[in-house]
Chains A and B, each alone.
Chain A
Amino acid sequence: MTATLESVRALRTNRRRRSTRFAMVTGGLAAAVATLFAVTMMVGSFRLSAGEVITSVLHLADNPGVDFVVRELRLPTAVSGLAVGLALGASGTIFQQLLRNPLASPDFVGITSGAGLAAVTGIVVLQAGGLVITGFALGGAVVAATLMYVLAWRDGVTGYRFILIGIGVAVFFDGLTGYVLTRAQLFEARQAMHWLTGSVGQASGPELRLLLGALVVLLPLAVVLQRALRALELGDDTARALGSRTELSRAGLLATAVALIALAVGVAGPIIFVALVAGPIANRLLGPATGGIVPAALAGAALLLGADLVAEHLLPTPLPTGVVTGAVGAPYLLWLLATTNRQGTGG
Chain B
Amino acid sequence: MTRLSAEKLTLGYDDRTVVADLDVTVLEGKVTAIVGANACGKSTLLRGLARLLRPREGTVYLDGRRMAELSTLDVAKVLGLLPQTPVAPGGITVADLVSRGRYPHQGWFRRWTDADDDAVARALDATGTAELIDRPLRQLSGGQRQRVWVAMALAQDTDLLLLDEPTTYLDINHQVELLRLLRKLNAESGRTIVIVMHDLNLACRYCDHIIAMADGSIVAEGAPVDVVTAELIEKVFGLACVVVSDPVAGTPIIVPA
At the interface, yes or no: A230 with Cβ under 8 Å from chain B? Answer: yes
Report yes or no: A235 in contact with B87, Cβ–Cβ below 8 A: yes
Most buried by A among B79, B92, B136, B188: B92
Among A4-12, A105-113, A187-195, A265-273, which stretch is in contact with chain B?
A4-12
Bound-state Cα–Cα, A166 to B85, Å: 25
* Cβ–Cβ < 8 Å partners of A150 in chain B: none
CA distance A14 to B117 in the complex (A): 11
CB-CB contacts of A222-247 with B at 8 A, as 1s and 0s?
Answer: 00100100110111011011111100
Question: Taking the complex as formed, is A59 at the interface, i.e. its CB lies under 8 A from any CB of chain B?
Answer: no
Residues of chain A with a CB closer than 8 A to B87's CB: 100, 233-235, 238
Task: Pick the contact of B121: A4, A238, A245, A291 (CB < 8 A).
Answer: A4
A288 and B83 within 8 A (CB) = no
Q: Which of B74, B100, B119 gathers most chain A CB within 10 Å?
A: B100
Is A283 an interface residue when CB atoms closer than 8 A count as contact? yes
The residues of A that contact B188 with a CB separation of less than 8 Å are 1
User: Who on chain B is nearest to A290 by CB?
Assistant: B91
Q: Which of B72, B82, B93, B122 sits near A288, CB closer than 8 Å?
A: B93
1/0 per position for B32-67, CB-CB distance to A under 8 A?
Answer: 000000000000000100111000000000000000
- Knowing A230-B100, A241-B50 touch, does A11 contact B76 (C-beta < 8 A)? no
- A233-B89, A241-B52 are known contacts. Are A1 and B126 too (CB-CB below 8 A)? yes
CA distance A169 to B88 in the complex (A): 28
Residue of A nearest to B84 (CB): A237
A250 at the interface (CB under 8 A from B): no
Inter-chain CA distance A7–B129, complex, in Å, is 10
Contacts of B122 in A (CB 8 A): 1-3, 7
Chain A residues within 8 Å of B138, by CB: 345
Q: Which residues of A contact B125 (CB under 8 A)?
A: 1, 3-4, 7
Complex Cα gap A69–B85 (Å) = 59
Inter-chain contact A234/B130, CB cutoff 8 Å: no
A224 to B106, CA, bound (A): 13
A121: Cβ under 8 A from any B Cβ:
no
Set A10, A230, A233, A241: member contacting B76, Cβ < 8 A? A241
Closest Cβ of chain A to B130, distance in Å, is: 4
Query: What's the nearest-Cβ distance from chain B to residue A15, in Å?
Result: 7
| A-side contacts of B153, CB under 8 Å | 241
* Chain B residues with CB below 8 A from A26, complex form: none
Question: Is B103 part of the binding interface, using a Cβ–Cβ cutoff of 8 Å?
Answer: yes
Q: Within the assembled complex, what's the spacing in Å between the Cα atoms of A2 and B100? A: 20
- Which residues of A from 196 to 211 have beta carbons under 8 Å from B? none
CB within 8 Å of A: which B179-200 residues:
188-189
Query: Which residues of A in the span 107-126 have a Cβ within 8 Å of any Cβ on B?
Result: none
**Inter-chain contact A243/B92, CB cutoff 8 Å:** no
Pair B108/A237 contact, Cβ less than 8 Å = no
**Does A14 contact B133, Cβ atoms closer than 8 Å?**
yes
B166 located at the interface, meaning its Cβ lies under 8 Å from any Cβ of chain A in the complex: no
List the B side residues contacting A235 at CB < 8 Å.
83, 85-87
A241 and B83 within 8 A (CB): yes
Which residues 72-121 in B have Cβ within 8 Å of A in the complex?
Answer: 72-77, 79-83, 85-93, 95-97, 99-101, 103-104, 106, 108, 112, 117-121
> Any chain B CB within 8 A of the CB of A18?
yes
23 contacts between A and B (CB under 8 A): A1-B188, A2-B122, A3-B118, A3-B119, A3-B122, A4-B121, A10-B133, A11-B117, A14-B134, A15-B99, A227-B108, A230-B100, A233-B87, A234-B87, A234-B89, A235-B83, A238-B86, A241-B83, A242-B103, A243-B77, A288-B93, A290-B90, A290-B91
Known: A3-B121, A237-B47. 13 other contacts (CB 8 A): A2-B118, A3-B117, A3-B119, A97-B89, A227-B106, A234-B97, A237-B86, A240-B52, A241-B82, A283-B91, A288-B134, A290-B92, A345-B90
Q: Which 7 A-B pairs have the closest CB atoms?
A: A243-B76, A3-B121, A243-B104, A237-B83, A241-B81, A243-B73, A7-B121
